[in-house]
Structure 1
Amino acid sequence: MTTASMTGQWLPYGSAGTGTRLFCFPHAGASAAVYAGWRAAGNGDPAICPVQLPGRAARGRETPHHDPEALADDVLSGLGSELTGDYALFGHSLGALVAYLVARRIVERGGPPPRHLFVSGRPAPQLPNTRRELHALPTGELVKELRALGGLPDVLLEERSLLELFLPLLRADLTVNETYRHVPGPPLPIPLTVFGGVDDPRAEPAELAAWQELSADSALFTYPGGHFYLDDRVPELLDVVRTRMAA
């Protein structure tokens, strides 16, 4: 497989654009398609580049990662030379952890760092997990938790066979998110912006604010809503992205 085709697996919508390329990492169980609508809202500034992780959509035959460090290494290997020039990273929930780990690796390995790191809907990675872990819950209890968050499409609730196909990927993603153990290090030399919903039961405002310990140049923006507060605020979030990157 050529380098171009390998990169195409990771970037199903491409990465071309005249503005800053914003590589976007999805939440647990989601595919790159969750950011498809962002592309029009971004209008090329930034150029929205949804990232397709293994185990979903056209990569559905691939085994999803269960280990956060291995996933971050795979992202770096897969995106390769795309992570150069004028680019930034965004991630929501699980995606926030992935974006952070990728940024940290790039800095530690002396690569060209992203212009900005944007994270959303996840407690800061250095905080201990004090919540009930979801990845190993029985199916009924897991579905109940996800329904409360609003993170389970209705079609999966209505079609048990589809749900059973979806759960291994979701459990793998939740394992990545819940088994990460932070290794202390120096603050990132990258501006950091944190987003979140004030009523998010999985990421309270104080847990979001703790991200600011990881960069000397940081800002926090919270909005009404729960874990998926951002679904109705894409233009607003992208305005903040533009403003923060121009600062």
Structure 2
Amino acid sequence: MTLQINTKAEHADAYWLRANTKTKNVKLRLICFPYAGGGARMFLPWQTELGESIEVLAYKLAGRESRLRAALYADWSTLLDELIDAIGMLDQDYGECPYVIFGHSFGARIAFELTRKLEALQKPLPLQLFLSACRAPSEPCILPYMYNLDSSAFYARVAKMGGTPAHILEDKRLMRMLEPILRSDMALSELWPDSERTPVNVKITALSGVHDKIDPPLVMQAWQNYTHNNFELICFEGEHFFLHSHQNQLLRQIENECKQLME
């Protein structure tokens, strides 16, 4: 069994995967959070697509990539406390820069909860939230919970969701290694507190797949009730993981909105 420990990082590199270290022309940071079981590396190609004026920073969640030994998250409080520390290191270690946040599915929940926490602590807020493939807090899960299923049923649900490559699903050893990470992320995602939330003072752009059976556009429209700022819902021809199948269209949407913020 792998020993998992908590360590207090002293530099932003411990938490953030940074694709662009040439920050001379950077005008805006795009902070990215992955879906359940996902890693920061999925966002590396985005830097090339978005150019030097937008710096892509992807968060390295506990239990994966270079943070294999970090204890998995047991609750939202632990995750958010870690994120506040990590956000606080950015300007200190990488230089001051305005930022926006993108999160997909579980990552969108992280993005929203982090923004609420930042606002409560009266810290600098993102200029905009891109919340992708994630129901609004007021909307119940359409599908039954999966975090507590037995391994066989759990793997079947993971496969049905469509975000895990076939070669990984077929590798039993690898799936046994990934299972605790997936369960931890799914537990936080599915048991997301549904108490009344105060809207944030940040524009929300909800991004949805037209054919998404997990978080369809209808349950994402309700995000309009969670901002005191502007709101828009953008739909793409795709399913829950349209960020892969329709990556180019998604990045053009993000890029266009970021350019407006930089003008």
Same fold judged by TM-score > 0.5? yes
Which letter maps to 1:240?
A: Q
2:126 pairs with 1:114: yes
Identity among equivalent positions (%) equals 26
Contact kept, 8 Å, 1:85 with 1:112, in 2: the verdict is no
Query: Using a 3 Å threshold, how does the CA distance of structure 1 residues 231 and 130 change in structure 2: closer, same or farther?
Result: closer
2:242 pairs with 1:233: no
Q: Determine the structure 2 residue equivalent to 1:194.
A: 206
Cα deviation, 1:189-218, whole Å, max 9, x if unaligned, reads 111101011111110111111111111301
Which letter maps to 2:246?
A: R
| Structure 1 CA distance for aligned equivalents of residues 19 and 80 of structure 2 | 20
- TM normalised by structure 1 equals 0.92
2:58 pairs with 1:46: no
Q: Determine the structure 2 residue equivalent to 1:34.
A: 42
| Structure 1 CA distance for aligned equivalents of residues 9 and 70 of structure 2 | 17
Consecutive unaligned residues in structure 2, runs of 5 or more = 1-7
Contact kept, 8 Å, 1:26 with 1:94, in 2: the verdict is yes
Consecutive unaligned residues in structure 1, runs of 5 or more = none
2:169 pairs with 1:162: no
Q: Determine the structure 2 residue equivalent to 1:218.
A: 231
Contact kept, 8 Å, 1:88 with 1:115, in 2: the verdict is yes
Q: CA deviation at 1:111?
A: 0.4
- TM normalised by structure 2 equals 0.87
Equivalent of 1:9 in 14, 22, 41: 14
Aligned length: 245
Q: Determine the structure 2 residue equivalent to 1:69.
A: 77
| Structure 1 CA distance for aligned equivalents of residues 250 and 27 of structure 2 | 16
Query: Using a 3 Å threshold, how does the CA distance of structure 1 residues 189 and 141 change in structure 2: closer, same or farther?
Result: same
Q: Secondary structure at the match of 1:12?
A: strand
Equivalent of 1:129 in 141, 145, 151: 141
Q: Secondary structure at the match of 1:140?
A: helix
Q: Determine the structure 2 residue equivalent to 1:141.
A: 153
Question: Which stretches of structure 1, 4 residues or more, deviate above 4 A after TM superposition?
Answer: none
Q: Determine the structure 2 residue equivalent to 1:105.
A: 117
Contact kept, 8 Å, 1:55 with 1:63, in 2: the verdict is yes
